[in-house]
Amino acid sequence: MTDDAERTAELRPAEALPPDVHEADPDLPGAAVAETAEERRPRGERTLGRDLLAAGALAVVLTALGFPFAMLWQAITPRVEFVTVEGGWYAVETYSDGYVRADLYFAGLGVLLGLVAAVVAWTAMRGHRGPAVLFGLIVGSIGCQVVAWRIGQAEWDAFWEAARAAPPGVHMWRPPSVLFVNLDTAAAWNAIGAGDIAGALGSLQLGALAVMALTAAFVYTACAGWSRRPSLRSDVPE
């Protein structure tokens, strides 16, 4: 080897050694460059598919919460007392406030659960923050209250069937049911088929069923508005 070749090897040791040597010895310059490039590589790649998958999972979980939501609502809401008579029944209190408490308790629970759901979604799903999670939060919140409403409706129908079959003089307590709602998907579909858009919208009046979704959307949007990061992700530098 000539003198010039020896000087070149001394000045550029990283290129003079095989690639395997760089990986084995972290003290060499080549390994340091590779390590720096690895550190700069993003930890998790964010894609629309992953965001939609996370939003779908969130919607499913929130919809499933409709069952305990209904049980809690049925347990804490005061019931109206009825007495069966010959050919029918009558309420013990003529103007009982229990007729409207069911809707108020239903809406109140929706506000509380919507607030908790939005905060949990914001903190636990940092890597998927954005419109997709917001959409899943809204759909899941509506699904949660629809499930609770349907369970209450089933209890309501069972009560009236039992009242019709009960002998006179039996005291019965009417279960809570949401009254301020008009949701009939079959009628809405038929109206759309007939070209009656106004009639379809009239059959899709959520009423109290939209309280949880409105609360969750407001809280989640407020959290996004106060975020210092344009991407909303806490693992991305400002």
Alpha helices in the chain (DSSP H): 3-11, 13-16, 19-24, 29-40, 48-64, 66-76, 98-124, 131-165, 185-193, 197-202, 211-225
Task: Return the pLDDT at 231.
Answer: 56
Position 87 scores a pLDDT of: 74
Q: Which of 84, 67, 75 is nearest to 161 (CA)?
A: 84
For position 200, what pLDDT does the model report? 73
Please report, in angstroms and rounded to a whole number, the separation of the first and last CA atoms in the chain.
53
Whole-angstrom Cα distance, residue 176 to residue 80?
8
Please tell me the distance from the alpha carbon of residue 164 to that of residue 218, in angstroms, as a whole number: 44
In tens digits, the chain (238 residues) has pLDDT values of 555 555 544 544 444 445 444 444 445 444 444 444 444 444 456 677 888 999 999 999 999 999 999 999 999 988 887 888 887 776 777 767 777 888 899 999 999 999 999 999 999 988 888 899 999 999 999 999 999 999 988 888 888 888 888 888 888 888 888 877 777 777 777 878 887 787 777 767 777 889 999 999 999 999 888 766 555 655 544 4
Tokens encoding 191: 């109206």
Angle of helix 98-124 versus helix 131-165 axis, rounded to 10: 150
Query: Can you give the pLDDT at residue 196?
Result: 74
pTM of the full structure: 0.70
- Domain locations in the chain? 3-40, 48-225
* Cα radius of gyration rounded to whole Å, the chain: 31
Residue 232's pLDDT is 60
Contacts of 211 (CB under 8 A, 6+ apart): 106, 107, 110, 111, 114, 145
> CA 168 to CA 2: how far, in whole Å?
117
The Cα-based distances of 34 to 26, 30, 39, 72 in angstroms read 9, 6, 9, 57
Residue of 171, 199, 168, 195 lying closest to 185 (CA atoms): 199
Structure token pair of residue 27: 């003290």
pLDDT at 224: 84
From the list 224, 219, 236, the residue with the least C-alpha distance to 116 is 219
What's the gap between Cα 28 and its chain centre?
A: 51
Question: C-alpha angle 13/18/23, rounded to 5°?
Answer: 90
